[in-house]
Amino acid sequence: MNLDPDLNRLAALEGFFALRTGRPRPRTGRPPLPTLAEVYATRGAPDAPECAGRRDYEEVDHEGVDPLAFRVRKVVRLLAAPEVRVGVSVAQQGLAARLWSVALGAAVLYGQVPDLDPRLLHWDADGSAPDDLWLSRVRALPGDAATIRRLVHHGHLAPLSAALRERHPVAAGLLWGNAASALASTARLLDGWAAAHGRTDVRDRVRVLTAELLGHPDLRDTGDWDGTAFRRRSCCLYYRVPGGGLCGDCCFTRAPRSSPSDPSG
């Protein structure tokens, strides 16, 4: 089945799967949304401070604003995170989940994926799904693992990791663990949808594609994958958020008491 211009099948899944298409709507008093290519290329200052102490995107002077730094600050503030790297981890995992969801969801529902070239994807650092991402043009590509890996893994996750690590002291292993965890979570959601709708073809396709994607050297040692179950070998640090607790795929069985035991690499 060919992709439709509005990606309606993805929209029906809602949440992280839905993707806005076309040019982003103009925003009164705010500049056009940057593409993710521009975001990854932005040179950021390490652990940049709040813009003049202001807390809201609407209030800052957007000229020269670093969207990644803004997003991390926003996550840190909303979670009351005790350290910046927690915000880095949560922000990165959220964007990784969005990208995997769109690509894997399209691959199993359409048999094709939209071209997710960073130059075509506009990002609102202050937005949430589905209004955070806009695909300016829908171009169909093969829905195989090699294409998904090129689009998401190499096209987004690698430059995103590099851009974040340029700004903040966070381990590469933690970020790749997040990427694998986000992919596994996406697969479980699709598997559950397929089971509920009697789509054994979708369930089979999800498992095959996910296993292939997790076989990449950057991801294959990040955790153990069996069917749709994933147990990671690093920690995303969410347990450090007040009241956060452990994630379902966490390497820990109980939250550690001190930072030296964090397996963040």
Question: What's the confidence (pLDDT) of residue 256?
Answer: 76
The confidence score (pLDDT) of residue 48 equals 47
pLDDT value, residue 63:
46
pLDDT in tens, the chain (265 residues): 789 989 999 999 988 999 999 988 777 777 889 999 999 998 766 654 443 333 443 333 344 579 999 999 999 999 999 999 999 999 999 999 999 999 999 999 999 999 999 999 999 999 999 999 999 999 999 999 999 999 999 999 999 999 999 999 899 999 999 999 999 999 999 999 999 999 999 999 999 999 999 999 999 999 988 888 888 888 888 788 888 887 877 777 777 765 544 555 5
CB 180 within 8 A of CB 97: no
Q: Could you tell me the two tokens for 194?
A: 């397929």
111 backbone φψ class: left, alpha, beta (φ>0; ψ -120 to 50):
left
Question: pTM of the predicted model, to two decimals?
Answer: 0.88
Amino acid present at 23: R
Amino acid at 237: L
The residue behind tokens 């996550």 is: 75
C-alpha torsion sign, points 189, 192, 196, 197: positive
What per-residue confidence (pLDDT) applies to 47? 54
